[in-house]
């Protein structure tokens, strides 16, 4: 069981898209709960459209009073619990990060500035202090171009590396298919290839992204076990 929160106080960073891409990918193999903790309820809206996999449960009506309970209850009978958070720093965001096994910090490559990246990461670092535990987190670059890597983006990546921030090896490339499946409902697989271009490339990207997240969770678990075996305490 793993709890994964998607957090970035910046609106439009790609939280909802990356949560739903991961959720639908994982749901092809196992039971997944996606907690829609955004008052604009984008994932609840998606779930009302046809084509949602039966293995994916969407839970809404989330607030400060129930977010921790809903996460814990979902974790009882789902292999993965994903939490899509709103684009502000709120108590709900803090509670969800506090509960997470992994925080994915989507950064939108197109309008990225170094300060924004730092702010998003600080949000997690503050929770680490507050809860006195390590909270594994990784940056996911979103809406990147398959071909172009701007100098600004390269510089930010170097800064993140220098600060020893984990950056996921797979990026979510800018593709109409990611936009479309959110709007039309269902999964990437169900998109009409005559209407939407690049569906298969998007699926390939989604698979690689999900595999990278699962691998990171495994690596973290192993690091915890090694740490415990050496007499330290697991996080
Ligand atoms: N990889 C992508 N390819 C194409 N469009 C994308 C991609 N990622 C995000 N988008 C689009 O960018 C916009 C913002 O993305 P999204 O809603 O996922 O961000 P968010 O961080 O959840 O925003 P908010 O803070 O408002 O909740 C949406 O219109 C979405 O469809
Ligand atoms: Mg969102």
> Over the stretch 119-143, which tens digit does the pLDDT of each residue have?
889 999 999 999 899 999 999 999 9
Instruction: Assess if residue 197 is contained within a domain.
Output: yes
> Going by CA atoms, what residue is nearest to atom 23 of ligand 1?
12
Q: Which residues is 45 bridged to in the sheet?
A: none
pLDDT for 152 equals 77
Q: Tell me, what CATH number does 149's domain have?
A: 3.40.50.300
Mean pLDDT of 97-115: 86
Instruction: Assess if residue 194 is contained within a domain.
Output: yes
pLDDT band at 233 (very low <50, low <70, confident <90, very high): low
Which among 135, 80, 142 has a CA at the least distance from the CA of 116?
142
CB 83 within 8 A of CB 37: yes
Instruction: Assess if residue 19 is contained within a domain.
Output: yes
Mean pLDDT of 230-234: 68
Mean pLDDT of 166-194: 96
pLDDT at 12 over 70: yes
Q: What is the percent of the chain with per-residue pLDDT over 90, rounded to a whole number?
A: 77
Name the domain count of the chain.
Answer: 1
**How many degrees, rounded to 5, is the angle at CA 204 between CA 198 and CA 207?**
140
Please give the residue range of the domain that contains residue 16. 2-229
Tell me if 38 CB under 6 Å of ligand 1.
yes
Instruction: Assess if residue 130 is contained within a domain.
Output: yes
Instruction: Assess if residue 235 is contained within a domain.
Output: no
| Distance between Cα 6 and ligand 2 center (Å) | 9
pLDDT at 205 over 80: yes
Instruction: Assess if residue 114 is contained within a domain.
Output: yes
| Distance between Cα 143 and ligand 1 center (Å) | 8
């Amino acid at each position: 069981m793993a709890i994964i929160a998607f957090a970035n106080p910046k609106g439009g960073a790609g939280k909802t898209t990356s949560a739903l891409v991961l959720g639908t990918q994982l749901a092809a193999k196992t039971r997944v709960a996606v907690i829609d903790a955004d008052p604009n309820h984008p994932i609840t809206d998606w779930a009302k459209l046809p084509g949602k996999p039966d293995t994916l449960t969407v839970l809404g009506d989330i607030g400060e009073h129930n977010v921790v309970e809903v996460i814990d209850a979902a974790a009882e009978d789902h292999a993965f619990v994903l939490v899509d958070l709103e684009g502000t720093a709120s108590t709900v965001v803090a509670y969800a990060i506090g509960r997470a096994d992994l925080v994915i910090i989507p950064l939108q490559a197109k309008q990225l500035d170094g300060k924004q990246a730092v702010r998003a990461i600080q949000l997690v670092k503050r929770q680490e202090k507050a809860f006195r535990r390590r909270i594994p987190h990784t940056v996911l670059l979103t809406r990147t171009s398959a071909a172009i890597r701007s100098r600004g983006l390269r510089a930010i990546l170097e800064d993140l590396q220098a600060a020893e921030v984990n950056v996921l090896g797979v990026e979510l490339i800018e593709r109409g298919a990611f936009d479309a499946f959110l709007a039309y409902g269902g999964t990437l697989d169900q998109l009409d290839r005559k209407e939407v271009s690049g569906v298969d490339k998007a699926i390939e990207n989604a698979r690689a992204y999900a595999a990278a997240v699962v691998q990171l969770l495994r690596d973290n678990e192993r690091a915890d076990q090694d740490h415990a075996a050496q007499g330290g305490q697991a996080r």
